[in-house]
Amino acid sequence: MPRIRYVSMIRRKNKLAVLEEGFRGKVLVAGDIHGDLEAFEKAKAIFEKEEGAVLVFLGDYADRGENGLEVIRGICELLDRHPDRVVALKGNHEDYRDGRPWFSPWTLGWEVEEKLGISWERFYPELEARLLNRLCLGFLIPGFALCVHGGICRAIAGEEMLANPTPEIEEAVLWSDPGESEGERANPRGAGILFGPDITGEVVRNLNVRFILRGHEPQKALLGPYAEHEGRVITTSCTAVYGGRPFVLRVRPEKHRTPEELTNSAVYL
């Protein structure tokens, strides 16, 4: 049986991927996986059954769970097979600097040595070429949502700031969290910021979207999608390593226009 060929509905502007305006299918959004191979395989199966759907991963593919290496290989295979329909974002657990992790815990190095029998230094160039260099910082669904790993900051005044981010903007996207207070405050993580509802309001207006879809705090989403900032920020989880039940959002951007409709689009794995 011949393979179905799809017209690419994703265009890439350096570190920003953008869904084409004419797309009328489903967008599947998968949050942090953290080495949960079972959740990854179930999310992959949903994607493979949804003809023409687009799948976006929000980062944090390894560490904490036992199968980070297998998850990374699976992500790379999907990127190879479906470059027109799969986007993988960078998370803070893909924040390597000079080949070393800028985060903790870090269990992927142990996996590489135990499962492959090679040093991290030998493995890292392959990881960089196969995965890290292919990751986007954000995925924009015009008129609907910005998908990122962690968060936002006031400096995101338009698409260009995500396509060609400064180091400060990239750190904010990878590490930041929603806060209850107005403005931008220091993040207890030691990186990124806590951004207030006013910052969310500014950024969604600047990008002409309704929502920020994010991961980074799976513990908030143990019972399902977690909405805050008047429903404009939705936190997701695609891992069971924190407890709870992983899920993906199965969204129709032209249909799921309210926070309730968006959170009700969750498919539990």
What average pLDDT score do residues 247-268 get?
95
Strands 27-30 and 247-251: antiparallel
Check residue 2 and give its pLDDT. 42
Q: What is the pTM of this model?
A: 0.96
pLDDT at 5 over 60: no
2, part of any domain: no
Tens-place pLDDT, residues 191-250: 999 999 999 999 999 999 999 999 999 999 999 999 999 999 999 999 999 999 999 999
Instruction: Return the residue matching tokens 């220091």.
Output: 186
Check residue 102 and give its pLDDT. 96
111, part of any domain: yes
Instruction: Say if residues 181 and 194 touch (Cβ distance below 8 Å).
Output: yes
What average pLDDT score do residues 155-160 get?
97
1, part of any domain: no
Please give the residue range of the domain that contains residue 59.
10-268
Tens-place pLDDT, residues 107-138: 999 999 999 999 999 999 999 999 999 999 99
**Rounded to whole angstroms, how far apart are CA atoms 56 and 253?**
14
What average pLDDT score do residues 89-99 get?
97
91, part of any domain: yes
Check residue 19 and give its pLDDT. 97
5, part of any domain: no
- Tally the domains of the chain: 1
Whole-Å CA distances, 175 to 63, 107, 116, 129, 190: 16, 19, 30, 23, 9
